[in-house]
Amino acid sequence: MKRFNPFKGSSVSSKKLLWLGAVAASGLLGGIQATSADTLPPLPKYIADQGKLRVGVKCDYPPAGFLGSDGKPTGVEIDMARHIAQIAFGSPDKVDLQCVTSENRIPTLMAKKVDLLLATLGIFPARQKVIDFTVPYFWGSSTFLVAKDSPYQTNAEVLDKKIIALKGGSQITWLTQNAPKAELIRMNTNSDALQSLRQGRGEAYTGDVASLINLLPSNPDLRMLPLKEQYDVQWGGGGIRKGEQEWKAYLDVILQDMKSQHFYGPVVDKYVKEPVVRDLMVATYETDPPQK
């Protein structure tokens, strides 16, 4: 299986997916330093004039983005947005967080309702025809959730069944190309997908490994198919409109510094308590995926 690599144009081999488990054991953690103003390109005037950072985020996809007990967006990508706002505007509170779904996130960006998407956005050619991306800040893969008493044990057993997936997600593209016998049931939100799985509308729910594995502790009636069968390995990054090169340059420096300064370890610790899940999450932010 091959997936697009935005850095070199090469692909990721499915034979190396087991690398996920090995790198997750590294338990990366480090200190966070401030990005120096001397290293930053100028903040684009049209962004500065707004006086705040307008960001589209997921609000039902923990731990990347979800609604906290106060009803406000929280999560790893929300903390990222606040970190960027701190650098750009001097305060983590100078941010306008707008909830988006997999289906409407790009239209929301194109309608200029937000200026940046931090919304588990995978990078692949079809999307690059419509929008531009920042430097990648995470990588991930996909897998399946099934009912705990489901008879299915492997991907092959569900690829010709009814599969629940989020509208606009990369899983739909992959399944359409690689599992033509599957009947796809498209849902708007993560919560809708889980409800549909419980109702028996589909045999499995597919999504990002990092998100689905985080759902298991609070959903003991569900289980994940073996991690060795993960599919659709890809990079992900921030989404911006085409032609906004100054904005991209500004964001790229911040995101690269966040990775090199190990921003993500302490942030993931806030939202993920299970050590194995935590290490897997941090690895997807602070290491590179295997190369062919």
Domains, the chain, in order of start with CATH, read 19-137+237-286 (3.40.190.10), 141-232 (3.40.190.10)
One digit per residue, the tens of pLDDT, for the chain of length 292 reads 333 343 333 333 333 333 344 333 333 333 445 565 567 999 999 999 999 999 999 999 999 999 999 999 999 999 999 999 999 999 999 999 999 999 999 999 999 999 999 999 999 899 999 999 999 999 988 999 999 999 999 999 999 999 999 998 889 999 999 999 999 999 999 899 999 999 999 999 999 888 898 888 889 999 999 988 889 888 999 999 999 999 999 999 999 999 999 999 999 999 998 898 899 899 999 987 755 3
Residue type, 204: A
C-beta separation of 20 from 226 below 8 A: no
Q: How far apart are CA 268 and CA 280, in angstroms?
A: 10
Query: CA 167 → CA 26, 85, 114, distances in Å?
Result: 33, 29, 20
Pair of tokens at residue 77: 């990508």
Q: How far apart are CA 232 and CA 246, in angstroms?
A: 31
Q: How far apart are CA 3 and CA 126, in angstroms?
A: 12
What pTM was computed for the model?
A: 0.77
Pairing mode of beta strands 231-236, 60-61:
unpaired
Query: CA 23 → CA 26, 27, 250, 283, distances in Å?
Result: 6, 8, 30, 6
Q: How far apart are CA 259 and CA 274, in angstroms?
A: 22
